[in-house]
Copies of this chain bind each other. A is one copy, B any other.
């Protein structure tokens, strides 16, 4: 196991009606003027935004609003949010929505107290200072509610890049599983796929002797395998949604990813897909992961065999562990298909002729010099082959 530090100081309020604590929690964490940041109509239509506003009003906390966050959130709205916060003297950002809204809120929080262009943080500068952020989560997926990470897409060039820093880790996150019951099945499934990707990206390690985190990751994967079909079948299954919601947070606050190298190549390869085609990140991952896993499997076939046996119930073939490894990857892909996720470029809406462009932005964009690194270092030829495997 590698040396590490772990710090996850977010306060989680979990359960039915938890959004009514928003006002008091903002106050408790020092907010006196709030920007409520949200996406489209669903939080308005469901009445959630009104409940959050009422909670703020009841706690005597004034607020301004900025809606309009889109999936794969864009830098344009971040600049707008920063301007608004400066003008209005906002000292707390409350995100009401999913990972895109939370990531956009984090970018605004960092940008508001920074003199330069906030995009600097998405080009490698660590975030050390930001306004405090709170969240009211509406989809179990990105894990942004418990993470120090944010991903934003820059319109010019459609670069999708991440930034990180404990300063943007939410002070509190409100997780009410009932809020996710109205999601379309496709979004629920894409969220579940993203959660499983966060687990696989941590599982694919080059570190040795990491049994405790292996077991924790497997525990969360087993939870997703059990609960996801139950919510697809019955969207109103509160308990299944609750199990998924806590798994989604635990999958990404890094409590099960410490002391080990991690991968994140699937995320990087997918980011170019959702940036170009504006597809759901989880849907892109459903197409990306099986291709990546098959391509890199021989780097450590026992790692893939282990998850095949422990999570997917495959029989261990001791003479041919690659058979077990491959069976596990296939079981995962079949699972993703069974919950309604796409299996190839066509179903995703991606185009074969774009592969050179995807590879170029992936391996050469934003300062990269021809490859991406992770479980295996992948150069342009590798990435081309991986995209071709998705056709």
Please give the residue numbers on chain A whose beta carbons come within 8 Å of chain B beta carbons, in ascending order: 1-18, 177, 208-213, 215-216, 218-220, 222-223, 226-227, 239-240, 242-244, 246-247, 250, 255, 258-259
Contact = CB atoms under 8 A, between A and B. Distances in A.
A388 to B, nearest CB: 37
Nearest to A166: B11
A143 to B, nearest CB: 14
B216 A218 contact: no
A131 to B, nearest CB: 19
Contacts of A8: 8-9
For the complex of A and B, list the 4 residue pairs with the smallest distance between their C-beta atoms, beginning with the closest: A3-B15, A9-B9, A209-B239, A219-B219
Nearest to A242: B1
A239 B207 CA distance: 11
A16, A209, A226, most chain B CB atoms within 10 A: A209
28 contacts: A1-B239, A1-B243, A2-B15, A4-B12, A4-B15, A5-B11, A6-B11, A7-B9, A7-B10, A7-B11, A8-B8, A9-B11, A14-B259, A209-B239, A209-B242, A209-B243, A211-B223, A211-B226, A212-B219, A212-B227, A212-B247, A215-B219, A215-B222, A216-B219, A216-B250, A246-B258, A246-B259, A250-B255
Given A3-B18, A15-B3, A223 B227 contact: no
Contacts of A222: 215
Contacts of A259: 14-15, 242, 246
Contacts of A250: 212, 216, 255
Contacts of A177: 1
Nearest to A176: B3
A311 to B, nearest CB: 11
A247 to B, nearest CB: 5
A191 to B, nearest CB: 15
A8 B216 CA distance: 18
Contacts of A242: 1, 209, 259
A13 B6 CA distance: 7
Given A1-B243, A7-B11, A216-B216, 14 more contacts: A3-B15, A4-B14, A6-B11, A7-B10, A14-B259, A210-B243, A211-B226, A212-B220, A212-B247, A213-B246, A215-B219, A216-B219, A216-B250, A246-B258
A9, A208, A242, A247, most chain B CB atoms within 10 A: A242
B208 A239 contact: yes
A13 B18 contact: no
A83 B38 CA distance: 53
Contact of A219 (B4, B18, B218): B218
A6 B14 contact: yes
A168 to B, nearest CB: 16
A222 B215 CA distance: 7
A211 to B, nearest CB: 5
A246 B12 contact: no
Contacts of A12: 4-7
A286 to B, nearest CB: 22
A256 B146 CA distance: 15
Contact of A258 (B1, B14, B208): B14
Contacts of A247: 212
A284 to B, nearest CB: 25
Nearest to A9: B9
